Amino acid sequence: MGRRFGVVMVLAACILVWTHGAWAQGIGAMRKQIEVSMAVTGEITVSEHGSVIAHTLDKAEELPPGVVAFLQRQIPAWEFKPLQHESAPVRARNKMRVLLVAKKQEDDGYEMRVQAASFNAFSTAEGSSSDNGRMMPPRYPVAMARAGASGSVYLILKVGRDGRVEDALAEQVNLRILAKAPEMERMRQSFAASALQAAREWSFTPPGQVESGAAGYWTMRVPVDYMMGGMEVKYGRWVAYVPGPRSTADWVDAELTKGSPEALESGMVGVLDKQALRLLTPLAGEAEG
C-alpha cells in the first residue's frame, strides 16, 4: 500500500556501530542491549474461523534453516479475528511480513522470538485503502551523519478526513549504534524530530471505508529508516540494533496499536483498521494493556 522510502547516507556499512562512549562503559554491559532482527515475507491464508489454512515464506532457500523451521512451527498455531464481508465471516489471503528477533543469552546461546507481524490484503474494496498523497522524505540530521548513527523511527499519525496530518508521534526509535545512555537518548530525539518535522507536512488520499474507531480521523503507522549507505540489508540476514522504548498518545486507539510496529517496511503506509485482518495470538512485541 503506497510507495516506500528511506533516508540513506553514503557513509558506512549498515551494521551496529560502537562509539567511544560505549567502550568507556565496557563491552560486556553494552552487549546486553543488543538484539538482532530479520524480516521475513510471505503470504498467509486464514479460514472463516480465524485459523491458519496455509502459509508460504518468500525465498525460503535464502533463509537460515533454523529460521524456516521456527516459523513453520509458529505460524500454523496463530489465531486471527475472523474477517467479515457483508456481516458474514470469510477467508482471507494476505501478504505477510514477520520480524524475528534474537537476543544472546548468558550461556552464549540465542533466544529467538517473533517480535511483530503485519498483514496486507492482496486487493481491497474500493475506498478501503489509503494511497500516499505527498510524502517527502525527511532530511538526515547532520550531527547524526557525522556521528555515524543510523536507526529507524516508527511514526504513528493522526490523519484528518481531508488527508492532512493533524498530529504525529514517534512511537519507537531503534538505533544501530551504541553509546552512553544520554547520547543514545539525544540520537533518538534527533531522529524523531527529523521524521516528525517531515511527517507534519505529509498528506494522504483519505480512505472511505476504514473503521479506525474515530469519527473525525484515522490512524496510520509509517516507519522511516535512517540508514548508512554502502551496504543494503539483504533478505535473510540478521541486523543488529538497540530497541527503543514504546510511546503512545491519548488519541491513539490502544486496541489498534497493541502490536509492535517493527514488522512494517520503511516508508510503507499502514492504516490501522478494525476491519482488517488482525492477529489475536500474543507476540513478543505486544504492548501491555
Domain membership of residue 171 (yes or no) is: yes
Q: Is residue 223 part of a domain?
A: yes
Euclidean distance between CA atoms 242 and 10, whole angstroms: 22
Position 189 in a domain: yes
**130 lies in a domain?**
yes
Angle at 54 between CA 50 and CA 60, to 5 degrees: 135
Per-residue pLDDT of 139-190, as tens digits, reads 999 999 998 899 999 999 999 888 899 999 999 999 998 888 888 999 999 9
**How many CB atoms neighbour CB 154 within 10 A?**
25
- The residue-averaged pLDDT of 186-208 equals 91
The reply to whether 220 falls in a domain is yes
The percent of residues in the chain predicted with pLDDT above 90, rounded, is 47
Tell me the residue range of the domain where 173 lies. Answer: 7-279
Residue 2 placed within a domain: no
Query: Does some domain include residue 286?
Result: no
- The structural domain count of the chain equals 1
- pLDDT interval class at 229 (50, 70, 90): confident
Higher local confidence (pLDDT), 221 or 273: 221
Q: What is the pLDDT of residue 228?
A: 76
Lowest average pLDDT, out of 57-66, 224-233, 237-246, 257-266, goes to 224-233
Lowest pLDDT segment from 155-159, 191-195, 247-251: 247-251
Cα 99 from Cα 282, distance rounded (Å): 14
Q: Which three cell numbers stand for residue 149?
A: 548513527
Residue 41 and residue 97 in contact, taking contact as beta carbons nearer than 8 Å: yes
Q: Looking at the domain assignment, is residue 222 inside a domain?
A: yes
pLDDT tens for 58-97 read 999 999 999 999 999 999 999 999 888 888 889 999 999 9
- Distance between CA atoms of residues 155 and 268, nearest Å: 11
Instruction: Give yes or no for residue 205 having a pLDDT over 50.
Output: yes
Give the position of cell 539525544. Answer: 186
Instruction: Tell me how far CA of residue 155 lies from CA of 7, 127, 142, 165, in angstroms.
Output: 14, 23, 21, 12
Residue the block writes with cell 486471527? 80
AA identity, residue 141: P
Burial class for 214, CB neighbours closer than 10 Å (0-12, 13-18, 19+): middle
If residue 188 lies in a helix (H) or strand (E), which one and from where to where? helix 181-199
Cβ neighbour number for residue 9 with a 10 Å cutoff: 16
Predicted TM-score (pTM) of the model is: 0.84
- Which grid coordinates belong to 223? 516507519
